[in-house]
């Protein structure tokens, strides 16, 4: 059984995330030792917590600690040994950025005492950052060697705990993909042969290159280089320590982009929100037991393997007893499992089978810590080719309206009932049967394995299942209604039944122009009582789109059409004159018009998508056969994607300046990231803090010149004009944001969206892509400017 009292140490915990980790652990009744390098600040932090949360002296203690000082670490270890005799939880949170900044610039960017970030001061702060060899060494002494000192010093005390846990606070910048040094990546990704000595070898190589000024030349990250590499190293060391000490749960975690002093209060999450993910790791359940349903193959089998690898006792279940025993034998033969794996037969569709397993868990362990409901059936009869067809239709690679679904799959009423009994009622039976045993755990977990296909889209379902007052009885009613309708007309007719029951539900039509992101942006803005000018190069298509929007009843703002060709200065001027005469000002400008710049087809674009996803080796693809890109197309691409956005901004700036809250959103792409451009000269120009329109034009003209001369590859350019045009657009966004500090000017990649531009091979719908654009439009007045967003998160350029 678990110990009744638990003890924790959190490094760097007098403020920020560390302070919140202490608060949240103590609120679970865990005795926490708050540590800080500065004794006065540490004692003040303890007093603050005691006053705000009422923690007693036996729950919250302070001890001075400098993780970069071995004697200080040893002193804390001696204190813990004498005071408690063991340690249950160690959170290595102490960290530094590895750069020095001008104090005034930092204060201005962080908003002073108000902690309200001033994004227009960000450029000044960035230019004030300096990296010295001394600050770089200190970064490693604290972030990596400090973590290592703590673990090595406290291992003997952690081994006295029944459920020891170590959490190393890392960062997403610590992912190996952020390091271009192939030698270092090779060492750090070689899990089987990784040792502390090999990790130190990488650290020493980096420090040597830093001292000699060879950071970029040798493939190390250029920005926040020490911090990035130190976190890469912490992640690697975590694996080494976890492998060496299998009796201790040792993990690392990125808590998210948090508002702390480390990032000058520019984060998206509060320290309390960031601390939650760390505390969840610190409170991982003990070594089991855990139950995984449907675990004799596929995902379920891998879940069991990974739980057992982490020292957790796992009960592997399967409906077929022979297959279950075969899976158990296979796991045990593979080795590398520090936790025990046991088999028990289970059919989640059979209440007596579920009850039998619950009785076994009760008799064997007395409680349950983890329940993973993975068992599931597809509910149709099909084959590999049929399933591939379904997936390709879902991804937009095939036109679903031209597929004879009766030939692809068979779905009977009996199969539908079995699907519900397994996927929904099976999970429900398991939870209801095991709740009493889970309630006996100190840290119970339930994970229900679902699917993206379960996201609510149909109004008939959404209306019933998306209510805050939802009860399980109503869920059952929806299931029964579905099965009743299914029995009456079968699955292929179900959509017609729903449409008949819900006369207000709009039927979907396939009209190319209506599947574009711009159309969806107009619709979503208009639904928020914003007057929107819908533009298109082709007047007929634009008016058709306007008519389609006005037919719908889901917008409250006015929608007006005006013809526009962003590649034509006179057309842009005509629109500007119209805006001036009609409204006198402009509040929002979304530059969405884009051109891919190549001649290709859906199959070729699908191949490109699969290469990007790592499914195909791009080096073996003949790009000249896949797509045709002429000089004229490249020029047109630049004229639309970059110069078009620039013409629009320059023409409409006077009217945006008359708005109380002006916004500009430039729709870009992940393909415009500078890391995709091999040309170091182009990257150097476009990443320069003193960037101007003239220098962006210089890069564009150089690309077009070398395109015309056929020297793109030899000069380090990407094959696609589209990538360069989007990189130029991102750079220009920064220039405008700097010139217009009263405006919010940002660019974003809305994601891989199913549109004409991507030949409908995307993952997101146009509506989902448009939502991200509209969120940027809706930024608060003190929100960011001059940034690049991908998947709704701030990204590097």
Could you give the residue numbers annotated as active site? 227
Q: Are 590 and 665 in contact (CB under 8 A)?
A: yes
What is the DSSP code string of 751-786?
Answer: -SB-SGGGTT--SB-HHHHHHHHHHHHT--TTS--S
Q: Which token pair is 657?
A: 């300046």
Q: What is the helix (H) or strand (E) element at residue 449, kind and residue range?
A: none
Q: Are 736 and 664 in contact (CB under 8 A)?
A: yes
Q: Please give the Cα distance from 98 to 181 (Å, whole number).
A: 20
Phi and psi at residue 250, to the nearest 5°: -120, 115
Task: Please report, for residues 169, 173, 288, 464, 746, the alpha-carbon distance to residue 250 in angstroms, rounded to integers and kept in the order given.
Answer: 11, 20, 16, 43, 40
Closest CA to 298 of 184, 375, 202: 375
Closest CA to 8 of 155, 158, 112: 158
Three-state secondary structure of 692-753: CHHHHHHHHHHHHHHHHCCCCCCCCCCCCHHHHHHHHHHHHHHHHHHHCCCCEEEEEECCCE
Q: Please give the Cα distance from 153 to 60 (Å, whole number).
A: 22
Q: Please give the Cα distance from 446 to 290 (Å, whole number).
A: 10
Q: Are 747 and 777 in contact (CB under 8 A)?
A: no
Q: Which long-range contacts (CB under 8 A, 24 or more apart) does 61-66 make?
A: 61/31, 61/32, 61/33, 61/34, 62/33, 62/34, 62/35, 62/36, 63/33, 63/34, 63/35, 64/35, 64/36, 64/37, 64/39, 65/11, 65/35, 65/36, 65/37, 65/94, 66/37
3-state SS class at 165: strand
Q: Are strands 588-591 and 532-536 parallel, antiparallel or unpaired?
A: unpaired
Distance in angstroms between the alpha carbons of the first and the last residue of the chain: 51
Q: Are 361 and 291 in contact (CB under 8 A)?
A: yes
Residue 387's Cα: distance from chain center in Å? 28
Q: Please give the Cα distance from 305 to 312 (Å, whole number).
A: 10
Q: Max CA-CA distance within the chain?
A: 83
Q: Please give the Cα distance from 540 to 523 (Å, whole number).
A: 18
Task: Please report, for residues 302, 522, 585, 640, the alpha-carbon distance to residue 588 in angstroms, rounded to integers and kept in the order given.
Answer: 49, 11, 10, 19
At residue 634's C-alpha, the angle toward residues 630 and 637, to 5°, is: 140
Q: Please give the Cα distance from 310 to 243 (Å, whole number).
A: 10
Q: Which token pair is 468?
A: 């805050």
Compute the residue count for the chain.
797
Q: Are 545 and 572 in contact (CB under 8 A)?
A: no
DSSP class of 469? T
DSSP class of 56? -
């Amino acid at each position: 059984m678990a110990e009744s009292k638990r003890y924790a140490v959190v490094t760097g915990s007098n403020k920020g995330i560390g302070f919140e980790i202490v608060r949240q652990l103590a609120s679970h009744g865990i005795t926490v030792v708050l540590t800080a390098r500065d004794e006065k600040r540490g004692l003040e932090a303890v007093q603050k917590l005691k006053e705000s949360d009422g923690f007693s002296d036996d729950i919250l203690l302070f001890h001075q600690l400098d993780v970069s000082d071995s004697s200080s670490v040893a002193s804390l270890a001696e204190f813990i040994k004498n005071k408690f005799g063991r340690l249950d939880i160690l959170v290595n949170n102490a960290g530094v950025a590895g750069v020095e900044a001008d104090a005034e610039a930092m204060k201005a960017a962080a908003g002073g005492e108000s902690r309200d970030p001033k994004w227009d001061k960000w450029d000044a702060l960035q230019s004030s950052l300096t990296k010295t060899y001394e600050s770089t060494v200190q970064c490693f002494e604290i972030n990596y060697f400090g973590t290592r000192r703590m673990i090595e010093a406290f291992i003997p005390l952690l081994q006295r705990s029944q459920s020891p846990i170590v959490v190393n606070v890392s960062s997403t910048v610590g992912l190996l993909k952020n390091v271009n040094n192939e030698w270092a990546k090779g060492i750090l990704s070689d899990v089987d042969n990784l040792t502390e000595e090999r990790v130190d070898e990488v650290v020493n190589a980096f420090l040597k290159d830093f001292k000699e000024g060879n950071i970029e030349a040798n493939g190390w990250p250029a920005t926040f280089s020490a911090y990035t590499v130190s976190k890469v190293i912490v992640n690697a060391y975590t694996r080494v320590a976890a492998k060496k000490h299998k009796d201790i749960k040792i993990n690392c975690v990125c808590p998210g982009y948090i508002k702390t002093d480390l990032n000058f209060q520019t984060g998206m999450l509060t320290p309390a929100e960031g601390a939650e993910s760390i505390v969840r790791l610190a409170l991982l359940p003990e070594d089991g037991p855990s139950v995984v349903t449907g675990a004799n193959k596929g995902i379920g089998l891998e879940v069991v393997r990974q739980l057992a690898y982490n020292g957790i006792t796992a009960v592997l279940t399967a409906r077929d007893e022979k297959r279950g025993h075969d899976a158990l034998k296979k796991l045990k033969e593979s080795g590398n499992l520090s936790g025990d794996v046991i088999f028990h037969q289970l059919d989640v569709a059979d209440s007596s089978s579920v009850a039998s397993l619950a009785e076994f868990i009760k008799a064997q362990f007395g409680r349950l810590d983890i329940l993973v409901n993975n068992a599931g059936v597809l509910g149709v009869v099909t084959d590999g080719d049929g399933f591939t067809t379904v997936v390709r239709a879902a991804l937009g690679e095939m036109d679903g309206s031209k597929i004879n679904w009766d030939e692809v799959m068979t779905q009977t009423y009996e199969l539908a009932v079995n699907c519900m009994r397994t996927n929904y009622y099976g999970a429900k039976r398991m939870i209801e049967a095991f709740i009493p045993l889970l309630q006996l755990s100190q840290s119970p977990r339930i994970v229900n394995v679902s699917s993206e296909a379960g996201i609510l889209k149909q109004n008939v379902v959404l209306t019933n299942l998306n209510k805050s007052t939802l009860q399980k009885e109503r869920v059952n009613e929806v299931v029964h209604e579905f099965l009743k309708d299914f029995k009456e007309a079968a699955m292929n007719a179900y959509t017609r039944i729903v449409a008949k029951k819900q006369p207000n539900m709009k039927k979907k039509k396939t009209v190319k122009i209506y599947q574009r992101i711009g159309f969806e942006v107009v619709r979503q803005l208009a639904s928020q009582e914003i007057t929107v000018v819908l533009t298109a190069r082709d007047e007929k298509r634009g008016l058709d789109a306007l008519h389609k929007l006005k037919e719908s009843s889901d917008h409250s703002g006015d929608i007006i059409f005006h013809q526009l060709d962003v590649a034509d200065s006179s057309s842009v001027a005509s629109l500007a004159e119209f805006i001036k005469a009609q409204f006198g000002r402009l509040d929002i400008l979304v530059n969405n018009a884009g051109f891919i710049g190549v001649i290709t087809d859906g199959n070729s674009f699908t191949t490109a998508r699969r290469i990007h996803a790592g499914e195909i080796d791009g080096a073996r693809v003949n790009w000249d056969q896949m797509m045709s890109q002429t000089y004229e197309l490249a020029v047109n691409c630049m004229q639309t994607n970059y110069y078009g956005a620039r013409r629009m901004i320059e023409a409409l700036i006077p009217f945006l300046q008359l708005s109380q809250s002006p916004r500009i959103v430039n729709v870009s792409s992940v393909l415009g990231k500078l890391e995709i451009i091999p040309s170091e000269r182009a990257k150097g120009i476009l990443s320069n803090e003193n960037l101007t329109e003239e220098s962006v034009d210089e890069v564009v003209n150089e690309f077009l010149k070398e395109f015309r001369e056929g020297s793109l590859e030899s000069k380090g350019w990407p094959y696609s004009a589209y990538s360069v045009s989007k990189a130029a657009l991102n750079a220009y966004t920064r220039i405008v944001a700097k010139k217009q500090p009263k405006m919010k000017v940002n660019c974003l990649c809305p994601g891989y969206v199913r549109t004409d531009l991507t030949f409908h091979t995307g993952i997101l719908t146009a509506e989902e892509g448009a939502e991200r654009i509209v969120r940027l439009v809706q930024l608060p007045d003190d929100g960011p400017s001059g940034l690049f967003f991908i998947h709704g998160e701030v990204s590097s350029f």
